[in-house]
């Protein structure tokens, strides 16, 4: 998986990102009011709760381990870590998916959820995280901290098993 990020160590860039996010949120709010869009949809109570990576694997491994292309999904979680949505962020090729943190967090911002889990597959079958997977995870933790959305885990699924990057100590 390849990551595209802007350097986030400079304060002006962080401020620019937050300003752009605020403008987008204001615009979304105005559109929701104008078109009478429900901003807090009802969510079923029987959704799975994520407290460990095995739950994520149980939910998605049958489907994702067989994909011929790399795919990145985001699980949207409420305050009680219940899954309230699942979005496919990228469909890549057999070797990589181009991922930007902004695309990963967009559904979480729109749905106003406090937690996410990122899941992607390795079509090769080997779930061992690549250098790009590790860098993406670090970038997502940093961006999540700026946005106030916690990345609970990044799970890599392959036909030969799975790996939790939180389990590897990359996420506190």
For residue range 116-132, list pLDDT tens digits in order. Answer: 999 999 999 999 999 99
End-to-end CA distance of the chain: 22
Read off the pLDDT band of 43 (50, 70, 90): low
The Cα–Cα gap between 43 and 169 comes to 32
Confidence check: pLDDT of 17 > 60: yes
E-state strands within 42-105: 71-77, 83-91, 98-99
**Which helix (H) or strand (E) is 33 found in, with range?**
helix 11-34
pLDDT of residue 115: 98
Predicted TM-score (pTM) above 0.85 = no
> What secondary structure letter does DSSP report for 169?
T
Chain mean position to CA 33: 27
């Amino acid at each position: 998986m390849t990551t595209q990020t802007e350097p986030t160590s400079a304060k002006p860039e962080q401020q620019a990102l937050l300003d752009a996010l605020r403008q987008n949120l204001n615009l979304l709010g105005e559109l929701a009011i104008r078109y009478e869009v429900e901003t807090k949809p009802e969510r079923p109570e029987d959704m799975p709760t994520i407290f460990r990576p095995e739950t994520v694997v149980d939910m998605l491994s049958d489907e994702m381990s067989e994909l011929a292309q790399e795919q990145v999904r985001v699980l949207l979680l409420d305050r009680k870590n219940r899954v309230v949505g699942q979005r496919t962020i990228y469909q890549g090729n057999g070797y990589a998916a181009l991922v930007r943190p902004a695309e990963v967090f967009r559904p979480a911002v729109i749905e106003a959820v406090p937690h996410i889990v990122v899941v992607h597959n390795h079509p090769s079958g080997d779930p061992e995280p690549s250098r790009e997977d590790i860098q993406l995870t670090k970038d997502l933790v940093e961006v999540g901290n700026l946005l106030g959305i916690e990345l609970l885990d990044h799970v890599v699924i392959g036909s030969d098993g799975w790996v939790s990057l939180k389990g590897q100590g990359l996420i506190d």
